[in-house]
Chain A
Amino acid sequence: MDPLAGLVGFTRSLRHAGLAIDAHRVEAYLTALDQVDLSSPAQTYWAGRLTLCSEPDDLTRYDAAFAAWFRSGDGTGIPGMPAPRTVGRPRQQRRIAWLTAPLTPRDGEEQDDDAADPLRTAASDMETLRRRDLAELTATEREHLRAVLAALRPDPPTRTSLRHRPARGGEVDPRRTLRATIKAHGELARPLRRRRATRPRKVVLLLDVSGSMSPYADALLRFAHAVVRRAPHAVEAFTVGTRLTRVTLPLRHRDPERAMAGATAAVPDWAGGTRLGETIKAFVDRWGQRGAARGAVVVICSDGWERGDAALLGEQLVRLRRLAHKIFWLNPHAGQHGYAPVQSGIAAALPHVDRLLAGHSLASLDELLAEVRRA
């Protein structure tokens, strides 16, 4: 067998395993193999790992694929490897139609009246949908909500950057002043000025996907998709439940359905239990303390039903408090009548949270976005 075909086949099996490998990387891989001693398994291993992996998550997958491929030897594929997932691309047209379509099916005579002004009907339906509890939506309303969330364009919060931009007031800008001086034949002209520019502030979304939150999980994940899409490099999204899963990368996909499919596939603890304290600790340890939460607006979406130790959750929020710029807690139950924050988790967390918001309806999600923007 041609060894080259076998090696390219190996990169293909890695791609199936989920590594982001393009032609550029394959080329680098082949160049690297050319430089090392191919009779040494260790060097073959390292040549591939150095050129084909791009993050720590890739390493275990690479190790598994390497072991399977170079041991089986026939090069036909890795036994037990699932076929690549093909997710159909929903039509853009359909989404737009959903945005303007009326929500509830109507009788014949009513339909005639509505035909005169379909926009107003859509608008008033929209108004109702905005206030409805996300857990109580019908299938049609849910479909509509998806479209509305996909069309959301939330502006990220901003902070002052270290960089400058030309301005009318502020400190003197030496570079521009010098250029103006040369233009004026060496006459020191009116000094030109500059100000600090603004940059998007980091936002971190921690979404509870445990069983008690499952009626809201889909809508919240779609909401996260809209927020991530708006500022892909300033927003990080994680799901919490029994373990921490980073879903930023799948959520960066433009198409909401594909993003949702990717994120759902990545989350192993969907509708499981809740160990908020431990998972938030995992977040602060692995991401927050290193910088993801520094100066960020952190939004925790959870009902605060904590199975584990509530004291641990309190401790972790104290740590998070010291890192983050603002912490918002979004609790779907907070929007219901007679709600009191007495659940063990939320009671422990509340003293360290800047604001507790409802987040059970579109209107309350809007309110959250306004708060985040102001932060």
Chain B
Amino acid sequence: MDALDGNAIAGQLVEVFGAELTTATGVCAGCGASGPVAELEVYLEAPGTVVRCRSCKAVLMVLVSRRGVTCVDLHGFAQFDVGRRIRE
């Protein structure tokens, strides 16, 4: 299966966080690579949604929804900077 990118989960992120987050900048805790969420690798068909670092392939974020509840694991990020976007 081909990986997509962060644009594909823009709607899911709005649903969970209530804000547009594809322009947010994430820093990978594994290799230090930094970039917009929109450019990260996204696998939609894993059990849940898996987001990986494009440079070192480390898992940055996992979203799993079950019975209307979404669990989000962000442990792969060293930093997650939403800038001014969260207030819009």
**A joins B in a complex:** no
Query: B residues bordering A, Cβ < 8 Å?
Result: none
Query: A residues bordering B, Cβ < 8 Å?
Result: none
